[in-house]
Amino acid sequence: MGKVVLGVAVGVAVAACTVAALVVGRRVRSRRKWKRVVGVLKELEESCETTVGRLKQVVDAMAVEMHAGLASEGGSKLKMLLTFVDSLPSGSEKGIFYALDLGGTNFRVLRVELGGQRSDLDPDVEQQPIPEQLMTGRSEDLFDFIASSLYQFVEKNDSVQSPITKLLGFTFSFPVKQTSVSSGVLIKWTKGFAIRDMAEKEVAGALQQALTRKGLNMRVSVLVNDTVGTLALGHYHDADTVAAVIIGTGTNACYWERTDAIIKCQGLLTTSGGMVVNMEWGNFWSSHLPRTSYDVKLDAESPNPNDQGFEKMISGMYLGDIVRRVILRMSEESDVFGPVSSRLYVPFTLRTPLMAAMHEDDSPELTQVARILKDFLDIPDIPLKARKLVVKICDVVTRRAARLAAAGIVGILKKIGRDGSGGITGGRSRSDIKMRRTAVAVEGSLYTQYTMFREYLHEALNEILGEDIARHVVIIVTEDGSGTGAALLAASHSSENVNNIQLI
């Protein structure tokens, strides 16, 4: 009997030891898997590091590239395009002005009434979809359709038979080679448009002809892009505005430059002594930018590899997809997110607004993170610590983007002597330089709707410039530079003859 009891006890002990060994084994394997995931995160953090020293190198590189782009065509990754806009709204403009904003599958028409004093603007706005057949048909048909819509819009508020010529600001968000403030040649269509007979033709002229055919006494007085419109709107509200940045789905910047600094157009004269330069800064590149393996793959798989490198690191089009790529790698190296979801292999499954919602989820259990992972990436029921990991990934990617955007802004300020350095490379401030108040207009959902992005950008501005200089730099938020800003530019150019700008 004793032997039987002893045998049972030994069996139980062996079983217990086996179970314990299995439990310990699972814990060891789990720790190893978690260690691998943490290693991926640590590698990401190190690759995305944006120390103040590194950001100042980016600042210097941006300023150098700006100089090079102004010196010669093709001399820089920055195109530094002339806009021929040589005056910005002052707030003294009076009258009724119109704008047309054409940049996608919809277009907008606006009417702005100005009373001669800076005030809140309340434009009348209408939006219309463009019939699909007009996006690939004849240019005459497209512009006739737009002219008819403009005619109906004007008719609601003003006399279309008035002998007084109405002025229109035209925002055309497609690649254009500007030839004057009110004319430019289409380089190529994008965004689903493919109207062959418009290739290398003058854009504003095509619209003007359609307005004439319709019998509408309206003149296209400015042809601009949305970034220039943002600068105009910022300057209307704040005369210290010297630059504008759009940080949304895409990104770009423009600024006010002295004409004598535009070396590639020697002999360029403007009555104001300055001109707005469209940087096309999305194409900026420098070896100082903190690039990761995820950025390299995203770029290689994009429709435009080796192009728009800065935009791919800081704009809303791409941030969510960088996060997706990090989560995919972690899933492939560990089962912390469960079996690898097939949705993780689909580019742009995780859009930046979803990423922002996860990043800013402040619920104790991170319920928003859980919902988005389940609904959009097909990753259900992951533990809280894995959800926290996702939030951290979002934080690293967003922080890098915001801080690089801040460095870009300071690069512009450095180029025009508004960063307190007195032109000293390396951004060292000088105490003997009197800083002028400087405003930068910013527009775009990534800045206006993503709180963490905005806070990281401001934090970086303070760190790069130093508090003494940073307090003189003001970020002002604008809304609808592409529409209202274009109408304001029509107003600021209303009393001017065509040849305010001369080449001698």
Residues forming the active site: 191, 226
Answer yes or no: are the C-beta atoms of 386 and 407 closer than 8 Å: no
Whole-number CA gyration radius for the chain? 28
| CA-angle at 171, arms to 168 and 172, nearest 5° | 125
The residues, ordered by sequence, that sit 6+ positions from 316 with a Cβ below 8 Å of its Cβ are 247, 248, 249, 250, 352, 353, 444, 445, 446
Helix, strand, coil content of the chain in percent (nearest 5): 50, 15, 35
CB hemisphere CA count around 51 (13 angstroms): 6
Q: Cα–Cα distance between 354 and 327 in angstroms, integer?
A: 14
Rounded to whole angstroms, what are the CA distances from 454 to 449, 484, 500? 8, 24, 39
Cα-based torsion angle of the residue sequence 213, 189, 174, 217 in order, rounded to the nearest 10 degrees = 0
Residue closest to 222 by CA, chosen among 97, 49, 125? 97
List, as one string, the DSSP characters of 120-155: ----EEEEEEPPGGGGSS-HHHHHHHHHHHHHHHHH
Q: Cα–Cα distance between 426 and 407 in angstroms, integer?
A: 12
Q: Cα–Cα distance between 402 and 48 in angstroms, integer?
A: 12
Rounded to whole angstroms, what are the CA distances from 9 to 19, 20, 22, 45, 254? 15, 16, 20, 53, 82
Residue 190 is which amino acid? T
